[in-house]
């Protein structure tokens, strides 16, 4: 299902009051099932792996309507906590008690999405598949199908976005999102999701849009830890890698994903995000607390980086993450244009200091773009 922060999930606590948290539709139902099975306890108590103490919860039939999260078939659920001392905090639970009783996928039900939602949820599929493929958990039951989902997304997302009545393209994207979700249910995710959770907690921006902006940046960050995997991804994305060495092919993967997300209308950075269908940025709970535009200063970037460090997805990443590294990835997503930023010693320090590569790591705070 797509991320729909316009709806709220009621969280009953011990006193019976019901504050709310923004979550995707299917994951909201999962949170409700977990809470119902535990006599109305606060959903924040289940922020962990298999935290449920009872599996006796209500039945759940999930009917998918997007080409993204795969949440109709995974044990994962995501909650945005807006009321506890940790707020704003978007967290992930993986729980066998959250698996749906029955999942239904029909491409026809995905054909009425706005084009932006086809693209954004497709970016989420690419995020799921790629993070699983390059991550630390490698298994024959999951890694090959992750690569297959990458190939399906590369071959069909453009057509599904701009010609959503094309049944074959939409069917292939439904298979891509389902396959990618099956893959990460075992192979887990990485810091692209940690990054997306952090910025969404502060700005209520569409999760798939976050991932579209973040894909090339996180692939760049992770590439030194998994170059052969990214070379494989380049081939899956249709790149002719004959005559390329592994680093060159891995760079070509980043070029290919930049082309894909740009072709499907993704802005180059979060600061360029404008209105999109059903946007809730700067509205609802966030009205008066954040601007609709995403323009974080250094203090907010620090908070988001720390949010990333504590995310359940971070340990699955192929490359270790530091707070400074997380801040630079966030800053790049916030203000810089999309470009291949590897080679020429570019990985010196965190990202590198070659000014011709587009980063501004040696600039003073006053010289950097955006709010200070």
- pLDDT score, position 270: 93
3-class secondary-structure state, position 162: helix
**181: part of which helix (H) or strand (E)?**
helix 167-187
- pLDDT score, position 63: 93
- pLDDT score, position 160: 98
Q: Are 202 and 300 within 8 A, CB to CB?
A: yes
- pLDDT score, position 291: 65
Using alpha carbons, list the distances in angstroms from residue 214 to 254, 338, 342. 11, 9, 16
- pLDDT score, position 280: 81
* Residue at a domain's end among 89, 104, 119: 104
- Total tally of structural domains belonging to the chain: 2
Reported as a single tens digit per residue, the pLDDT across 200-210 is: 999 999 999 99
Using alpha carbons, list the distances in angstroms from residue 348 to 95, 164, 296. 39, 43, 25
Q: Are residues 82 and 173 in the same domain?
A: no
Q: Are residues 70 and 180 in the same domain?
A: no
What residues contact residue 299 under an 8 Å CB cut-off, 6+ apart? none
Asked, for residue 285, whether it belongs to a domain, the answer is no
Residue 330 belongs to domain with CATH number: 1.20.1090.10
* Residue at a domain's end among 104, 133, 163: 104
Q: Are residues 228 and 347 in the same domain?
A: yes
CA separation for the pair 34, 47 (Å, rounded) = 11
Domain coverage including residue 233: 108-276+293-367
CA separation for the pair 227, 246 (Å, rounded) = 6
Residue 71 belongs to domain with CATH number: 3.40.50.1970
Q: Are residues 122 and 43 in the same domain?
A: no
Match 């039900």 to its residue by tokens: 109
CA separation for the pair 64, 178 (Å, rounded) = 10
pTM, two decimals, is: 0.84
CA separation for the pair 175, 177 (Å, rounded) = 6
**DSSP code for 310:** T
- pLDDT score, position 167: 98
Q: Are 27 and 77 within 8 A, CB to CB?
A: yes
Q: Are residues 100 and 196 in the same domain?
A: no
Q: Are residues 118 and 236 in the same domain?
A: yes
Q: How many CA atoms lie within 13 A of 303 on its CB side?
A: 14
Asked, for residue 281, whether it belongs to a domain, the answer is no
Q: Are residues 177 and 63 in the same domain?
A: no
Asked, for residue 163, whether it belongs to a domain, the answer is yes
pLDDT tens over the chain, length 372 residues: 333 332 222 332 322 223 333 334 555 566 677 776 676 788 888 887 888 887 777 888 999 999 998 889 898 888 888 888 888 999 988 888 888 899 999 999 999 999 999 999 999 999 999 999 999 999 999 999 999 999 999 999 999 999 999 999 999 999 999 999 999 999 999 999 999 999 999 999 999 999 999 999 999 999 999 999 999 999 999 999 999 999 999 999 999 999 999 999 999 999 999 889 888 888 888 887 666 678 888 999 999 999 999 999 999 999 999 999 999 999 999 999 998 887 644 443 444 433 333 333 333 334 434 444
- pLDDT score, position 275: 87
Q: Are residues 308 and 362 in the same domain?
A: yes
- pLDDT score, position 39: 65
Asked, for residue 300, whether it belongs to a domain, the answer is yes
Task: State the CB neighbour count (10 A cutoff) for residue 332.
Answer: 26
Q: Are 119 and 264 within 8 A, CB to CB?
A: yes
Q: Are residues 318 and 195 in the same domain?
A: yes
* Residue at a domain's end among 104, 137, 167: 104
Query: Of 281, 267, 274, which Cα lies nearest the Cα of 338?
Result: 267
**DSSP secondary structure, 326-352, as one string:** HHHHHHHHHHPPP----STTTTSSSS-
Asked, for residue 283, whether it belongs to a domain, the answer is no
Query: Of 69, 72, 71, 32, which Cα lies nearest the Cα of 52?
Result: 32
């Amino acid at each position: 299902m797509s991320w729909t922060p316009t709806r709220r999930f009621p969280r009953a606590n011990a006193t019976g009051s019901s504050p709310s948290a923004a979550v995707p539709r299917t994951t909201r139902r999962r949170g409700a099932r977990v809470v119902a099975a535990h006599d109305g306890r606060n959903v924040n108590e289940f922020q962990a792996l298999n935290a449920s103490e009872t599996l006796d919860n209500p039945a759940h039939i999930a009917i998918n309507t997007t080409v993204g999260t795969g949440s109709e078939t995974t044990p994962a659920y995501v909650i945005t906590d807006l009321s506890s001392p940790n707020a704003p905090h978007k967290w992930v639970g993986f729980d066998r008690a959250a698996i749906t009783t029955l999942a239904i996928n029909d491409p026809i039900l995905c054909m009425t999405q706005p084009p932006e939602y086809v693209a954004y949820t497709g970016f989420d599929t690419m995020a799921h598949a790629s993070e699983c493929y390059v991550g630390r958990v490698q298994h024959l039951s999951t890694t090959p199908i992750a690569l297959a989902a990458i190939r399906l997304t590369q071959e069909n997302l453009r057509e599904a976005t701009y010609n959503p009545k094309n049944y074959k393209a939409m069917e292939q994207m439904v298979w891509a999102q389902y396959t990618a979700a099956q893959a990460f249910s075992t192979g887990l995710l990485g810091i692209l999701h940690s990054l997306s959770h952090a910025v969404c907690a502060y700005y209520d921006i569409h999760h798939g849009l976050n991932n579209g902006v973040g894909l090339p940046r996180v692939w760049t960050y992770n590439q030194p830890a998994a170059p052969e995997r990214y070379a494989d991804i380049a081939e899956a994305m249709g790149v002719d890698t004959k005559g390329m060495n592994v680093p060159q092919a891995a760079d070509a993967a980043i070029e290919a994903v930049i082309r894909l997300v740009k072709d499907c209308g993704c802005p180059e950075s979060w600061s360029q995000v404008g209105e999109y269908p059903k946007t809730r940025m700067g509205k609802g709970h966030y009205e008066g607390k954040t601007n609709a535009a995403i323009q974080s200063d250094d203090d907010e970037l620090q908070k988001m980086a720390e949010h990333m460090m504590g995310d359940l997805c971070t340990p699955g990443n192929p490359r270790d993450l530091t707070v400074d590294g997380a801040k630079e990835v966030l800053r790049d997503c916030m203000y810089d244009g999309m470009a291949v930023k590897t080679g020429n010693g570019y990985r010196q320090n965190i990202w590198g200091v070659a000014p011709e590569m587009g980063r501004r790591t040696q600039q003073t705070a006053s010289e950097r773009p955006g709010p200070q």
